Amino acid sequence: MAFQGGVLIIGSLLWDEDNGRTQWRAQRLNKNNAKAVAVPIRYGRFSTNRNAYTMVFSRLCYRHSKLGQGVVVPFARSIGTFDDLRHEAEYLATAEGLNGNWEWGAVGLLKKAPSKLPGDFLEQWTGYFRERSIRYQAFAGQTASEAPAISREGLLDLSWPLDGEDSVEYDFILATPTRPRIQNNSNLKRYPRPREIATLVPSDNTHYFINNVLHGVRTSEDTSIWKAITKLHPEFAAEWPQVSSLLGEQTR
């Protein structure tokens, strides 16, 4: 029996070229059938490589009714064996830059309820995940008031993001929750505020925030972030009018 899976993308996997991502998207995904979905995401991980805040899953977004938007993209091939599933997880991990043991991020599995996946698939997935995630840093949760987005069995603690005919097409979804981190503070107590996120945008040569908006990845705070950016750097409004248009902002 064959199963259909996909990947839930909440950031640069959708548009960046690092770590062979262009080839991964072309060879492993069916980009023509991508679907925008509501998901609990926010900017919350300081990236030293980008000098910018990148996206994380946050279950507080459910509690506060502040969902963002990610993209589910189906795999180009169906899954017939556990090895097929493992291979897709490894291709995804490589595209994310998660090599060897998973530390700052991990690949998790979200199964649709009721699940059609065989019990031995899930048992093997848990064994595989535990081997790779011995050093994973986000099991302790995000902030003090929220639970982690992934279990120690490698299962994502997220609501199924698809419904109707879109949901019928999938049996499972893979995604990569990462550990939140505030700039210059490894012990997360809170998430960065819009102005803190905006302050770093001009120094990010990869334009992470802007590319996310242009490719359909959004958070509930995007408008506030963009207002802060254009207040600090008015030239951004002229350089990126598409962002103002997409966010419904008439920035002066």
Tell me what percent of the residues of the chain surpass a pLDDT of 90: 82
pLDDT at res. 201: 94
- State the pLDDT confidence band at 250, using cuts at 50, 70 and 90: very low
Is the pLDDT confidence value at 235 over 90? yes
Q: How confident is the model at residue 99 (pLDDT cuts 50, 70, 90)?
A: confident
- The reported pLDDT for the residue numbered 51 is 94
Q: Which two tokens stand for residue 247?
A: 């966010």
Q: Is the separation of the CB atoms in 72 and 7 below 8 Å? A: yes
- The answer on pLDDT for 186 being more than 80 is no
pLDDT single digits (tens) 127-144: 999 999 999 987 776 777
Token representation of residue 178: 């990462």
Query: Domain coordinates of the chain in residue numbers?
Result: 5-183
**By mean pLDDT, which of 123-127, 151-155, 167-171, 186-190 is the weakest?**
186-190
Give 42's pLDDT tier (boundaries 50, 70, 90).
very high
State the pTM of this model.
0.94
First to last CA, the chain: 57
Name the band, by pLDDT with cuts 50, 70 and 90, for residue 5: very high
pLDDT 10s digits, 65-87:
999 999 999 999 999 999 999 99
